[in-house]
Each structure stands twice: as C-alpha cells, then as structure tokens.
C-alpha cells in the first residue's frame, strides 16, 4: 500500500463516518471508525516493515581487509587502545549503544570502559542506563502517543522532600516599587514525592547476529513506550497511592465542597447534570479544565443529548491528520480506559466523568530509566525489564468536579 492510496482510502472512510454522525447512525459510525483504525494499523505496519528492510540493506556493505602487516621483533603489548570515551557523552556513543544492544539480547557484559565508574553508585542503581538517544526517543514517543501524559506537569525533584506547592504551581503577587516578592514567607502547603518503582517487561526476541542496531532500538522503544505510557496514565487517573506502591491518582482526591454532582439511582444522567458540573467549576479554574471519561460513557451518555434549543452538546470532529477530537459543551474530552463506565444501576457510587485541569497534577521522576536482565526460574525465560522511579500527586484540587452515579 503506497501513501497516496492510503490517504485516498482514509479520506473516503472519514467522509462516510461524518455522514453517519450527521444521520445519527451511531452503531454504523462505530463500525466505520474501526475500519479507519484497521487501515491506519495496516499502513503503519507496512511503513515499519519498509523501514526495517531499509535498515538491513544499509548494513550489507562489507569492507574487505587485506593483511599488509610486517613482522617486527620486539615485545607485544596486549589490550592497547587509543580510543577515549568522553564521560559527558558516554551513554550517547555508538559504541555504548551497540554494547547495550548485545547486553539486552544475549547477556554480554558491557565493557568497563563504557561504564561511568566516576558517578556515585547507590543501592538502587541496578541494571544499565538506556542510551541517551534511545531515552530521548522513548520520552518523545510517550508524550506523542499518550492521551493524558502530555497534559500533566512534569518535574524531577528529589524524592522524600517536602516541596512547597507554590514552587510547583507559582502564583503572582502585587508588590510596592523596589520591593521583592513575599514568596519565601507565604504559607501555601507542601507536597512530598516518594519513590515508587515502575517496571515493565520488554520483549525482545531478535537474534543478535541478524538484527541491526536501528531495528533493535526501534523495537525496544515501542515496547517500553506501550507499557510505561499505559501504567503512568492509569496511575494519574486512578492510582491508589502508597499502599499499592504507586502514585495517587486524580480520582483518589476528595472534591472541594460543592464540586461533587450526584445523580440519584432512579435518574438518568441529563443535560441539567452537566450544567450543574459546569456551574460548580470555579471561574478562576475555567481555563485548562477538560472532561475525562471512557469512550463508552461519551458515546452512550452524551452523543445524542441536546440542550434546551435542541442542539447537540457532544461533538466529534476530525483534525488535519484525521484524528478524532471530541468536545462536550465546547470543552475538550479526554477519553481513557482507566475509570468506570456509566451504568444505570451501579453496585456502589461510581464516578463516571470529571472535570479537571491536568496541569494541576504533577508527575515527578526520580531516576533515569534503566534496563535490567534476569532469568525466570519457573519458565527459564530471559526477561528484560525497564525500570524507573516515579511519583505523582494532585497539587491543586480546586479544578476537580466529579459526576457520580449513586447506588442507593
């Protein structure tokens, strides 16, 4: 499939999907969306296959070497090298990247000259640091593929310290001419970030004698991104905190007084409930607040709902790249799979949607991601893991408004 055919087929499907929305045929619309997703996956797979083939072709050139040395009497000096590895750029060097690949694939130790022995080593420093170019691609792709991760505030404070809330979310104050800010004297509360270890199994089943560096790094990046992004975003939304050794999520917060909109057991969610939620959101927190809910909740509760004038309150539009963009009462909707769907008869009170400014959630990273390899004694499988230390908390809950379906 070439790019021209892909774009033409996709445009046709998108036009058909838009027509189904306008006609109110939501079931057929869902089926059409799946066709678009299948087409995207097919084109992406074709692009990856072509990229891998190109990478293999780039590594087929073999340079013949002819022995033109001359025997000289004298003492043989072994293990002599003139190569100097610059410590500041240690993890970005091509030699370290190749050594890292061989370590992950078949367990070969990384040479001592490539390990930063000058750095202070702590008991938590296990495994080997992911090469800098690969790490940058992992972070970049996590930001690009995640729905929630790019929206939150990212910091790198040392774990275990109490950080003033004003340092994470600063405020401006009026001062007299020539006077300084009273930031140091201001009591705003604090937030303490802990050390929670996040790790994911990385499946790399390629043989070292057939795989190129480009293919290995692409495979590693994709596997780490998929696992880490899902785990981090789930913790941001519904993490239960320290007892589960994970960050505390948004849903674990208790909304401010008057910012919890409850729907009685006998009632269905209605337009008036959304109006009540919007009214409960303080004006100072209006900008940046977005809706969070599952796709099921959005499609089954709000698509088709109209206002007092008969106008639909939920809309689905498609951007330049064809990615669906959803809004509810003109406010962006962030879909996720990390909270409960709306149900008319829940067994317990359920938060099925909420308003929140994701910038008021801080995700703090303490340790650069590293790789550790071990053998599973039960299965004899060689398992490679990516490990990082991270914590997250809501630093200002005043933008949080929840929609809760009561069970009794």
Q: How far apart are CA 361 and CA 390, in angstroms?
A: 13
pLDDT at 399 over 90: yes
Answer yes or no: is 50 within a domain: yes
Answer yes or no: is 272 within a domain: no
* Band of pLDDT at residue 72, cut at 50, 70 and 90: very low
Q: In this structure, what token pair is assigned to residue 85? A: 């590895």
pLDDT at 136 over 50: yes
Q: What is the pLDDT of residues 188-203, one digit of tens each?
A: 567 777 878 888 766 5
Answer yes or no: is 240 within a domain: no
Write down the residue that tokens 């998929």 correspond to: 226
Output the pLDDT for position 99.
77
Helix axes 213-238, 26-58, angle to 10 degrees: 150
Q: How far apart are CA 123 and CA 128, in angstroms?
A: 13
Contacts of 287 (CB under 8 A, 6+ apart): 357
Answer yes or no: is 40 within a domain: yes
Residue 356 CA: distances (Å) to CA of 55, 95, 252, 296, 377: 44, 46, 13, 19, 45
Task: Give the Cβ contact number of residue 93 at 10 Å.
Answer: 17
The total number of structural domains that make up the chain: 1
> Which carries the bigger pLDDT value, residue 306 or residue 185?
306
Q: Residue 37: which of 18, 4, 9 has the closest Cα?
A: 9
pLDDT at 340 over 80: yes
Question: CA-based Rg of the chain, rounded to a whole angstrom?
Answer: 27
pLDDT, average across residues 304-332: 90
pLDDT, average across residues 227-234: 86
pLDDT at 62 over 90: no
pLDDT at 68 over 70: no
Answer yes or no: is 35 within a domain: yes
Answer yes or no: is 373 within a domain: no
Degrees (nearest 5) of the Cα angle 176, 180, 182? 100
SS3 247: coil
pLDDT, average across residues 346-370: 89
**Percent of the chain whose pLDDT exceeds 90:** 33
Answer yes or no: is 376 within a domain: no
| Enclosing H/E stretch for 123 | none
pLDDT, average across residues 359-377: 77
Q: Residue 49's domain spans which residues?
A: 3-54
Q: What is the pTM of this model?
A: 0.62
Answer yes or no: is 22 within a domain: yes
For 92, counting Cβ atoms within 10 Å of its Cβ (0-12 exposed, 13-18 middle, 19+ buried), the class is middle
Per-residue exposure over 108-144, b if at least 16 CB sit within 10 Å of its own CB, e if not = eeeeeebbeeeeeeeeeeebbbbbbebbebbbebbee
């Amino acid at each position: 499939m070439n790019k021209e055919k892909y774009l033409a087929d996709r445009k046709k499907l998108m036009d058909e999907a838009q027509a189904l929305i306008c006609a109110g045929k939501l079931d057929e619309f869902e089926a059409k969306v799946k066709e678009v997703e299948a087409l995207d996956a097919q084109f992406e797979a074709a692009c990856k296959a072509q990229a891998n083939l190109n990478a293999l072709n780039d590594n087929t050139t073999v340079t013949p070497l002819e022995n033109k040395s001359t025997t000289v009497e004298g003492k043989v000096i072994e293990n002599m090298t003139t190569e100097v590895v610059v410590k500041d750029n240690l993890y970005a060097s091509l030699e370290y990247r190749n050594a890292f690949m061989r370590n992950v694939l078949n367990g070969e130790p990384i040479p001592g000259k490539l390990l930063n022995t000058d750095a202070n080593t702590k008991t938590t420093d296990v495994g080997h640091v992911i090469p800098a170019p690969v790490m940058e691609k992992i972070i970049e792709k996590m930001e690009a593929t995640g729905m929630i991760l790019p929206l939150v505030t990212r910091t790198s404070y040392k774990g275990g310290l109490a950080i003033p809330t004003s340092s994470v979310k600063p405020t401006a104050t009026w001062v007299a001419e020539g006077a300084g800010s009273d930031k140091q004297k201001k009591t705003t509360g604090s937030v303490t970030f802990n050390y929670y270890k996040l790790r994911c199994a990385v499946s790399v089943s390629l043989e070292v004698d057939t795989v190129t560096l480009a293919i290995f790094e692409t495979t590693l990046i994709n596997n780490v991104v998929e696992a880490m992004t899902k785990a981090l975003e789930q913790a941001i939304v519904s993490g239960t905190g320290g007892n589960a050794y994970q960050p505390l999520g948004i849903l674990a917060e208790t909304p401010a007084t008057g910012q919890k909109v409850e729907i009685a057991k006998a009632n269905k969610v209605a337009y008036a409930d959304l109006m009540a939620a919007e009214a409960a959101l303080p004006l100072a927190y209006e900008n940046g607040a977005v809706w969070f809910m599952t796709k099921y909740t959005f499609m089954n509760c709000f698509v088709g709902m109209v206002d007092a004038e008969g106008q639909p309150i939920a809309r689905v539009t498609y951007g330049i790249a064809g990615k669906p963009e959803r809004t509810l009462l003109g406010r962006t909707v962030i879909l996720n799979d990390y909270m409960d769907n709306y149900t008319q008869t829940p067994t317990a009170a359920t938060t099925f949607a909420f308003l929140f400014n994701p910038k008021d959630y801080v995700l703090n990273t303490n340790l650069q991601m590293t790789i550790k390899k071990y053998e599973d004694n039960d299965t004899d499988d060689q398992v490679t893991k990516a490990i990082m230390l991270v914590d997250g908390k809501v630093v200002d809950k005043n933008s949080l408004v929840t929609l809760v379906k009561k069970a009794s």
